[in-house]
Structure 1
């Protein structure tokens, strides 16, 4: 005999299997970015909490490659942010979702995504993107070694001279950008709306990836433009020692949630949400543990 729970499960599975995909116009991309900027302004404190790791990591990587004379990896590592960014923005999707529903949204709410029913699926897709990132860095290194051998660059001037004044350097730019484009294309196709969908509909990895592919197939021009926008903003944010990413990344994260809303029809049978526990009292001495769901006091 069917139970209310099994009925909800069947309805949820049906809605996940084939969500309705909308047409996404170029003006929708601008509107998604505008809404992402509004979310960022409404909850700006989370930028330091969630995204300052990127500038710190960028500076650390810069120092690492200088110290070990592996300058050829600096650009691939920086470009790799675009591959793992959708997973890193999980908390931002949750904040945008809460604001959309008229719920309270503050920095610590970003961590409630850790208790989402589909967090395991998100972690699985995040692992896939991380694997893609590692393969990209290995491929970029192999291309450089294939053209210049294993001899390290003596420093930044020597490295720049190799890249911009030699035939091998020009070939490296063309081949490297071409291969990097393929990696970025794969990441875009499988993750453009995957993480927001898993958070919103509790979808499986397979269902989320399939939906992302359908969105890209139905809106190839708009999705290509979105990829170019993301790449351009990441480059702009990376120029001042990656510090601009503290603004660019949260805005893009919030905008991705709104892009998902524009690309996928809302679920007619949304999964029932568990009630959020009360915040309880938090003390400054317990920061940052008090930001985590399991670190909050009961009232």
Structure 2
């Protein structure tokens, strides 16, 4: 009877015969979870990353606003439609819903940040190259984002039907805001916060790791969750700052194409601070 070590060596020989240039038991181009050395997520790191995000957004204003402008136009259509059909209170929920799909579109911003960091001049093509260069596992994260988005929209639609009902609510009806509308917005935000926290934990550092191809899907998610729960207070503060500024700028839509790039570049700078690449 062959020993376990003999069987393992035989398995590695068979693997090498199929992929002769790939090391055994390792995904090509990705670091193992153990080799990803992380630094503590601190308030100082968040403050420094915010400064880096601001500078990167200013240095790439044209391409950054152009990319963020796509989402701004989509947001304008959604907000305009909700107002036109008398579903004004749903605008807050729609703004919060962006936090659930936003991670799927960060690869474009991260590619711009890397281009600037390398001393290059980014263009619109740089945004597209970010998705092409990212690991295919990034689309699994996008699928999770879409699933959580659908769950959240279903939840708030049910809340809306019970708390607000079918009567149209236009902007003129929001001052003063009726008690049932305030209740809907509160419970809608609570529902969204729970789902967004789940997504933040698995995607905050997993998305940039996959964009840089430094880990496989499982390794990236494990690393992200480990960092978030290993540094809970700074992580929750960063999550609050990220969500408050993003949702606030969506509600004040002309600010959105300027705020979104800053927060995206800050996210990437924070990732590089906490998970620096080996020299």
TM-score bracket, normalised by the shorter chain, equals 0.7 to 0.9
Aligned to 1:260: 271
Determine the structure 2 residue equivalent to 1:53: 70
**Is the counterpart of residue 96 in structure 1 residue 113 in structure 2?**
yes
CA RMSD of aligned residues (A): 2.4
1:38 matched to which residue of 2? Answer: 55
After superposition, residues 99-248 of structure 1 pair within 5 angstroms as 99-116=116-133, 118=135, 120-149=136-165, 151-159=166-174, 161=176, 164-166=177-179, 168-240=180-252, 242-248=253-259
Distance 1:135 1:43, change over 3 A: same
SS in 1 for 2:23: helix
Residues 85-136 of structure 1: per-residue CA shift (max 9 Å, x gap): 2222211101212332344433322211232151x21122112112212221
Per-residue CA deviation, residues 30-68 of structure 1 (Å, 9 max, x unaligned), is: 111111111112222112331102221222112211222
Give the gaps of 5 or more residues in structure 1: 269-299
TM-score (norm 1): 0.79
Structure 1 contact 23–263 (Cα < 8 Å) conserved: yes
Residues 170-210 of structure 1: per-residue CA shift (max 9 Å, x gap):
43243222212102211211111111100113533322222
Q: How many residues align?
A: 262
Q: Give 1:11-22 correspondences, 5 Å limit.
A: 15-18=31-34, 19-22=36-39
1:86, 1:253 within 8 Å by CA — same for their partners in 2?
no
Report if aligned partners of 2:137, 2:210 keep a CA contact under 8 Å in 1.
Answer: yes
Q: Against the structure 1 CA distance between its residues 154 and 10, is the aligned structure 2 distance closer, same or farther, given a 3 Å change threshold?
A: closer
TM-score relative to the length of structure 2: 0.84
Look up the match of 1:25.
42
Structure 1 CA distance for aligned equivalents of residues 91 and 206 of structure 2? 28
